[in-house]
Amino acid sequence: MILLRSLTLLITISSITSIDVLVPISTTTPSSSFYPYIAHPRQPQRLSLPQKRPLHTNKFYTNPLLGPGNNPIITHPFVLFMNLESPYGISISCTEQLALGQQIDSTRVKYFINVILKNIQVSATEFTAQNFEIINVDDPGFALTLKMRQQNSQSSITMPIVRGMAYVTFEYNSATPKISTTHAILSVNGQASGRISGKRFEIALNNGQTWLLYTLNGDITLEFRDNQLFGTQAITNVLRLTKKQSDSYANSLLDSHVSVYPTGCQLKADVTDSKGTYTFIWERKGDITKNLLHYTLAHHRQVISTSSATATPVQTQSASKGPMIGYIGNVWIMTEDSLSKMTYLAPRPPAPEYEDSIVAQLRRDITDGVNLGVTDYYFTGKAFHKYALLCLLADYYRETSLRQQCINTLESAFDVLITGKNANALRYDTTWSGLISAAGLAPSQELADFGNSYYNDHHYHWGYFIQTGALIAYLDPNYIPKMKNWVESLIRDANNPSTQDTNFPQFRYFDWYSGHSWSQGLFESADGKDQESTSEEINFHYGLALWGLSTQSKTLESLGRLMLAIAKRTIQTYFLMDSDNKVMPKEFIANKVTGIFFENKADYATWFGPNPEFIHGIQMLPSTPITEEVRLPKFVEEEWSTIMSKVVGSAAGGWKSILYMNYAIINRGEAFNQLLSAPLDDGLTRTWALYWAATRPNTNGGTGTLPPTTSNPSQVTTPTAPTTTGGECTMPLNGPCTSLTSPGDKDAGLGMYYDQTCAQGGVGCHHVKENCRLCAKNPAIVNNPFVKCPPCV
């Protein structure tokens, strides 16, 4: 019997296989006949790689590749920026200070921002101008190597710059050190002037900071004069800088681990059943017999294996993600123990008392149809997704004829996309190795399609199409071969998992160190990359998992579920802040959501308007089965009672439906009744709103309550034509909005006009330029989702 049990256990263990999720989806080069090749209008600057490789567009180091290159490189905890004026070199900031915005009320402020100062500046006396280039990057986007040099000279400084680095590293080659600060240097190793020699220097500043400077390859001599430190000769040596800690043992660890430094990272990830593991293998130089000291963020510490890396008392503050703690270890192994098992539908059926209403609405919605004409990629994606959900519910309720009608309509419309017959069909960009909309490639069109052509928001846009494809594949597997290449090309563009697929960068959007994606593409930013809609990021990962499930690809399903688990953790740690949050600034937590989250700040706002329903609602949509795993009842209860209950009555248009769907998490009965007549978001059908509310657990006893109704939601409609105030077709004077309409938008039946009311937000607002608004010239697409154009357009 014991032998039989042992054999059974052995068979069970051997049947559970580990899946490497970083294998290529494909290595096939995108077809130039289907995706016309283009060279991107925004070329990388100062790039000198040893060989051509796919370039990241949405990682932390885009700033030095764009414009003059002086916007910050935010590594956490350090903020680095290139000096375009003397001293020519690099400035380092590590203030560990936040500046707070204006008070919204007594409990919260509008924003917080990490204070950036030139605490330390590092250069060489030979440098007479700023001259730098990027000479290397790693595959997953953890690191770049930057080289500063003097023209017509051997003098150079090479810097490996890595996320989470505990020191800033400088590889001097035949260059003479020059170190300065915007503060006053009080002493160096206790001396107030003169020459100081050694391998370790304590630089005390009048702002209370002390910086530690180390050399790895022998002593150097520095001369302290005129509030600067000058090397007495050119050196070939490695210098490392960090801030001194208040704890003496922490400083001893800084001393003992300084001799090994990171240059990049290799990524490993695998899934076994419901457990996912991702591993950072740090690439190192220097004395590699030593273990690396490197900073962790809060979400790392929640899941890191202490057998791979151990915590130390070395601590600091990140620019925007709270406390960082130094860990010692060359490999970090992090495990998510409970991957989501969510499939297409909610994990519980609708409450029986609501089913008749849902089915009746389903019949109406499929009969009425949805406009599936392809305009831009964002609103078109939302339209396809909401119609696919109708098909899914027709299948669930066994409405056979409606199911077939719905699928036929959906596939017919999808054919336009997968055959490239839409006006803004995708192009393959040979510069940055990606698929982009054709809409924004003309001059002054950078923000057309929400900046899709410049790599903004692809994970938002593609997530809707990938999930639509997954639902079609589930309902009609015969359609898979027809669409598979197109859908998987979107996945490869946004988050290609493998270095073997050299047609796209590895994980363009997902930042494995940060634990979530960045939506900003090829645009310079004084506060680094940003992300606004965490719920649409979740929609991408969920869609990827469903696509893998529908196409029987365990690898893609597992990858989607692992990324989903990591993103859920970071979103609940940094973006959705309940009262127990100990990571984000206490003065900001009462906002409940971060708004636009940058690498260097968080601003309780959106890119399209200041209304609270916009700020919170963009973190809610779309509501799908996976939403309940991200927006937990405790958080929703707090968000509703402190903020949303006060604004839902006057919320603009379709945002009401988004807020009430979220409210269903804590009060499904009241929410369901409101959703029977609430104005709908353009990405939502009433059928799905009712189904989603009806599948929430019975929490009618929750404390969430509605305020007195200020208006009848059933009587609130989106206007079919804008209110004109003059200047719609002549403003702004330096280039009227009407003249900026892209060819792709024109072909899709759209125009553009100047609308002052965009200051309050609205669909189509701030397209290409502030207060420029997309509008519908084609009567068939008025209010689906765009307002009707003024007569002058």
Per-residue model confidence as pLDDT tens digits over 476-505: 999 999 999 999 999 999 999 999 999 999
The greatest distance separating any two alpha carbons of the chain, rounded to the nearest whole angstrom, comes to 90
Tell me if 382 sits within 8 A of 682, measured CB to CB.
yes
Give the pLDDT of residue 758: 72
d(Cα 646, Cα 421) in Å, to the nearest integer?
46
Q: What is the mean pLDDT of residues 128-139?
A: 97
Residue 703 banded pLDDT, cuts 50, 70, 90: very low
Q: Which amino acid is at 572?
A: Q
Same domain, 633 and 723: no
Q: What is the CATH classification number for the domain harbouring 98?
A: 2.70.98.30
Tokens of 674: 């409101």
- Domain span at residue 755 reads 718-793
Q: Reduced to 3 DSSP states, what percent helix, strand and coil does the chain have, rounded to the nearest 5?
A: 30, 25, 45
| Minimum mean pLDDT range among 134-148, 417-431, 606-620, 738-752 | 738-752
Give the pLDDT of residue 761: 58
Residue at token pair 């598979």 = 484
d(Cα 583, Cα 324) in Å, to the nearest integer?
10
277 falls within a domain: no
E strand intervals along 665-790: 750-754, 772-776
Same domain, 764 and 792: yes
> 710: which DSSP letter?
S
Same domain, 642 and 745: no
d(Cα 253, Cα 242) in Å, to the nearest integer?
12
Torsion of CA 564, 567, 573, 579, to 10 degrees: -50
Same domain, 639 and 744: no
14 falls within a domain: no
Q: Which residue has the higher pLDDT, 699 or 693?
A: 693
Give the pLDDT of residue 749: 77
Same domain, 497 and 566: yes
d(Cα 22, Cα 238) in Å, to the nearest integer?
35
456 falls within a domain: yes
Q: What is the CATH classification number for the domain harbouring 515?
A: 1.50.10
Q: Is the pLDDT of residue 86 over 50?
A: yes
Total domain count, the chain: 3
Q: What is the mean pLDDT of residues 570-589?
A: 98
Same domain, 737 and 640: no
Closest residue by Cα to residue 447 from 732, 772, 57, 767: 767
Highest mean predicted confidence (pLDDT) among 382-396, 705-719, 748-762: 382-396
Q: What is the mean pLDDT of residues 397-416?
A: 98
Residue 756 banded pLDDT, cuts 50, 70, 90: confident
| Minimum mean pLDDT range among 10-19, 74-83, 540-549, 693-702 | 10-19
395 falls within a domain: yes
Give the pLDDT of residue 47: 98
The residues that are catalytic are: 457, 532, 536
Tell me if 759 sits within 8 A of 609, measured CB to CB.
yes
Which DSSP string do the residues of 270-327 spell out, in sequence order?
A: EEETTEEEEEEEEEEEE-TTSPPEEEE-HHHHHHB-TTT-EEEEEEEE-SSS-EEEEE
Give the pLDDT of residue 701: 44
Q: Is the pLDDT of residue 694 over 50?
A: yes
Q: Which amino acid is at 146?
A: L
Q: What is the mean pLDDT of residues 406-424?
A: 97
Q: Is the pLDDT of residue 439 over 50?
A: yes
Q: Is the pLDDT of residue 4 over 70?
A: no
DSSP SS3 for 363? helix
d(Cα 458, Cα 521) in Å, to the nearest integer?
9
Give the pLDDT of residue 712: 34
Same domain, 663 and 769: no
Cα Rg, the chain, nearest whole Å: 28
761 falls within a domain: yes
36 falls within a domain: no
| Cα–Cα separations (whole angstroms), residue 537 to 459, 464, 617, 691, 770 | 6, 10, 14, 23, 25
Give the pLDDT of residue 760: 60
Q: Is the pLDDT of residue 424 over 70?
A: yes
> Kind and range of the H or E element at 93?
strand 89-93
Give the pLDDT of residue 713: 32
> 56: which DSSP letter?
P
Same domain, 480 and 559: yes
Closest residue by Cα to residue 592 from 647, 538, 541: 647
- For 443-460, write each residue's pLDDT tens digit: 999 999 999 999 999 999
334 falls within a domain: no
Give the pLDDT of residue 706: 45
Same domain, 616 and 725: no
Same domain, 626 and 487: yes
Give the domain-ending residue among 202, 235, 263: 263
d(Cα 521, Cα 206) in Å, to the nearest integer?
39
Strands 516-517 and 510-511, sheet pairing: antiparallel
78 falls within a domain: yes
Residues listed for the chain? 793
Mean pLDDT over each residue of the chain, to the nearest integer: 93
Percent of the chain with pLDDT over 90: 86
Cα dihedral sign, 515-518-522-525: negative
Same domain, 145 and 80: yes
- For 107-117, write each residue's pLDDT tens digit: 999 999 999 99
Same domain, 725 and 703: no
Give the domain-ending residue among 223, 242, 263: 263
Residue 51: Cβ-neighbour burial (10 angstroms; 0-12, 13-18, 19+): exposed
- For 182-209, write each residue's pLDDT tens digit: 999 999 999 999 999 999 999 999 999 9
Tell me if 243 sits within 8 A of 213, measured CB to CB.
no
Give the domain-ending residue among 693, 715, 737: 715
Torsion of CA 212, 214, 219, 220, to 10 degrees: -70
Residue 746 banded pLDDT, cuts 50, 70, 90: confident
d(Cα 675, Cα 142) in Å, to the nearest integer?
44
